[in-house]
Amino acid sequence: MMKSEETIKGKILFTQEQIWERAKEMGDEISRDYEGEELIVIGTLKGAIIWMSDILKNLTLDTKIDFISASSYGSGTTSSGVVKITKDIHMDLFNRNVLIIEDIIDTGTTLKFLKDYIAERNPKSVKICTLLDKPSRRKADVQGDYIGFTVDDLFVIGYGLDYDQKFRNLPYISYLEG
């Protein structure tokens, strides 16, 4: 159901229906890639929760889930470059397939740190599934293995993505104009 024009925040890039369709396609692809194997799905808090839920609903695998939270921003709006884990995972990842679910790959600084951090636990594999990829801002050498949509250098909100902790609950992805 589309919201009325007055309630839409920003300009819509991707509707809920488009996101659901992409989650189904990606869930099918991930299920084929890991067929017959267990998969540990690790969501990055807070932004990836809604996307992670959609992906999980479309997996036909034996899955376990956990969450991790890290930040390189502190209280500012620009990255400090120093990544801190604020909520760690508690599963044994040794020789297990791990899929990190992310809301957006922007500069890649935090995600690169997380991928390396998880790799230190000697998993069988570590891959990344992201709702959005913004390659124009990439600073760290990290790529998504499963990418929902590629976006330009826009300030995106909705579907878990926020502006000052607001708009995460929008059922679509839009962007705010400067």
Of 54, 103, 106, 133, which is the active-site residue? 106
62 is catalytic: no
Q: Would residue 105 be called left, alpha or beta, if left means φ above 0 and alpha means ψ between -120 and 50 degrees?
A: beta
Angle at 22 between CA 7 and CA 99, to 5 degrees: 110
CB contact set of 78 (below 8 Å; sequence gap of 6+): none
Q: Which tokens sit at 3?
A: 């919201």
Please tell me the distance from the alpha carbon of residue 140 to that of residue 138, in angstroms, as a whole number. 6
Contact (CB, 8 A) for 74 and 102: no
Q: Which residues are catalytic?
A: 106
